Amino acid sequence: MQVAIVKYGAGNVHSVVHALRRCGVEPVLTDDNAVIRRADRVVFPGQGEAGHTMLSVRAQGLDWLIPELRQPVLGICIGQQLMCARSEESGGTECIGIFPETEVRRFRPRSGEDKVPHMGWNTVKGKGFLDMEFFYFVHSFYVPVCEYTVGVCEYCGVEFSAAMRRDNFFATQFHPEKSGAAGERLLRAFLEDKLSLGFEVLRF
């Protein structure tokens, strides 16, 4: 099985490489659109700023390529946000639009006790996400809960989309590659195409 990790100038992609190796696959980190199109699985990960990363996405033609993919695709962190329609970041950024009519918003602290970015461990509610199971987050922007939401987290008094799905596209705001056994279970379910059955498979 060939797993392509999209290389587009975002940070933190090498931790995804190592996590997939722990799952028994040797992924290819690539910016070659032909390789991405042929891959059995595609991972669209990273950390970064929406405006800058979308410039790279458009320069590589990924804004039209990724929506055309028919194999399972997993967006992680900024990858999830770029799959939305637009972002408040960078003064307003048009994104890829795999999740239509969704706008990424900035966390607004309620008090001095709220710290932005949301950084560290938090729980997720939804089918397949076990009570008191923690995932690792690092983000200042979030996707509001919408029709594509399959996992919900709360921070700064706001519930947001921790996990999303539309057809063959899956996405997480948290970093499964940094989330221990729970994150590895999600990555293995993605590699085995079990997520197509729904996130409830994560219970097994």
**Residues marked as catalytic:** 77, 175, 177
Residue 183 backbone dihedrals phi, psi, to 5 degrees: -65, -40
Give, for 35, the enclosing helix (H) or strand (E).
helix 33-38
3-state DSSP helix/strand/coil percent for the chain, to nearest 5?
30, 35, 35
Residue from 96, 62, 94, 75 nearest 161 by CA: 75
Are 128 and 200 in contact, with CB atoms under 8 Å apart? yes
Are 154 and 142 in contact, with CB atoms under 8 Å apart? no
Are 80 and 172 in contact, with CB atoms under 8 Å apart? yes
Residue from 75, 51, 34, 86 nearest 166 by CA: 75
Between vectors from CA 88 to CA 83 and to CA 93, what angle results, nearest 5°? Answer: 60
Are 143 and 84 in contact, with CB atoms under 8 Å apart? yes
